[in-house]
Structure 1
Amino acid sequence: MTTIRRRPLVVAFALLAAIAVAIPTFGVGRASAVDSQVYIVHGIPGVPVDVYAGGTAEANRILTDFQPGATAGPLPIPEGPLPVVVVATGDDPTVPANQVIDQTLDVPGGADLSVVANVQGGTPNLQAFANDLSEVAEGSSRVTVRHTADAPAVQVLVNGEVAIPDLAPGAQASAVLPAGTYDIAVQLTDGTPLPALSPGSVEIPAAKNVIVYAVGSASNVDFPLGLVQQVLDVPVTPAPAPAPAPAPAPSHAAPVAAVPSVTG
């Protein structure tokens, strides 16, 4: 788990406490009643939190002192409705005034999901994404960019060339690239650079889905822009075995003329 500490932001909790944050129903089929694997991504600069799932008893606390900029999981979550309560670290979750989030999550069966706490329209909220864990070619990785920041559409440059031309807030885009080192930069679509979202030289390992979240706000200094990274393993399609070399054609012996023996 990678943690990026940011300065405390009490106003974020005031906003969250004043609203009911909606967690969308994930668009995944319910064919089988099996657990989903759920990752939590804390993309709101602010105060560390405790997260309770299925109730507010101590046994239901699934995350403790969860820091902004951190990721957690996968957490096995059963299919069906799941009450979720989030409070500032150490607060009593049974006190309604302490409940930053008090929401029921509708969990599908057999999915692999990431839920990110982010800022949209100046208000903290939660957004869910289904993770693409399909195969990639041997020696390659999938790179996914998720625009969860409170900012206009952006373009993503790879080695100086525009790779993603117009990524809207709340959207994601991905590409499969050979493993290696790449220079990554993010701009507004008019070319204005966004240094806080431009990691520069990035090493992409093989057989991964490297997910990068743009978080924070371009207009509110209380929610500084930044990046949160999540790395998931993906299966690899082995390179095809080289075709065997054709067997050499049989050579034919040249005819040999009979040599008469000479006696005398």
Structure 2
Amino acid sequence: MVDVYVDNTKVIDDFEPGTLTKTFRIPAGSYTLAITAADAPDASAPVIGPVDLVVASGMNYTAVAHLSEAGVPTAALFTNDTSAPGAGQGRLTVRHVAAAPAVDVLANGAPAITGLTNPNESVLVLPVGTISAAVAAAGTTAALIGPADVVIAKRTNTIVYAWGSLADGTLALAVQTVATK
């Protein structure tokens, strides 16, 4: 577990890896993010950061504490696409935040995203429905994660995170949904 500080104020206590937390509304501006060991007395000895983040007005973001490809703790700020995906469609965003090399994302057994590297994302607009998704090493079809059913819903950006560590055998998925217009 870890604690999360924004501008030296604890905003999340005892956060567990692989979980998602409540939404925060903050004004546009610059912020400093620091992640400490659980129950640290303050943000002076972070395990990640401090990281300076700039937040624009009217945007939707997700801050992610994760491992780099090499397994080093780090953080990234992703912008969530809230634009309308189109009639009868939803958006699928896949984010690679795992200590692992490039991956391919398989949808219903076929490569849908190829060569995705940490800390990047790939976005697809898909028909509403459920797909069977898996993550495989780039160029292969042997699942490292999954398969798992992923619901593509209208007016929704379904965001799937591949996180954890390949070397430690802790690869997993976390799913977030963000409303679109």
* TM-score category, normalised to shorter length: 0.7 to 0.9
Normalising by the residue count of structure 2, what TM-score does the alignment of the two structures yield? 0.86
Q: Deviations for 1:236-262, whole angstroms, at most 9, x for unmatched residues?
A: xxxxxxxxxxxxxxxxxxxxxxxxxxx
Post-superposition shift, 1:69?
0.9
Say if 1:77 and 1:107, in contact at 8 Å, map to a contact too: no
Say if 2:53 and 2:77, in contact at 8 Å, map to a contact too: no
2:52 — aligned with what? 105
Instruction: Give structure 1 regions of 4+ aligned residues with deviation exceeding 6 angstroms.
Output: none
Matches of 1:70 and 1:217, distance apart in 2: 16
Amino acid at match of 1:225: L
- In structure 2, relative to structure 1, the CA distance for the partners of 1:165 and 1:54 (3 Å cut) is closer
Whether 2:159 is the aligned partner of 1:211: answer yes
- Which of these two proteins has the greater Rg computed from alpha carbons? 1
Say if 2:48 and 2:74, in contact at 8 Å, map to a contact too: no
Number of residue pairs the alignment of both structures matches? 179
**Could you say what secondary structure the match of 2:99 adopts?**
coil
Whether 2:6 is the aligned partner of 1:53: answer yes
Structure 1: gaps spanning 5 or more residues: 1-47, 236-264
Aligned counterpart in structure 2 of residue 164 of structure 1, from 98, 113, 137: 113
- In structure 2, relative to structure 1, the CA distance for the partners of 1:136 and 1:216 (3 Å cut) is same
Amino acid at match of 1:71: L
Matches of 1:191 and 1:131, distance apart in 2: 29
Amino acid at match of 2:153: P
Say if 2:30 and 2:53, in contact at 8 Å, map to a contact too: yes
Amino acid at match of 1:202: V
Say if 1:216 and 1:224, in contact at 8 Å, map to a contact too: yes
Kindly indicate which of the two structures has a greater share of residues assigned to helix.
1
Normalising by the residue count of structure 1, what TM-score does the alignment of the two structures yield? 0.61
Say if 2:2 and 2:36, in contact at 8 Å, map to a contact too: yes
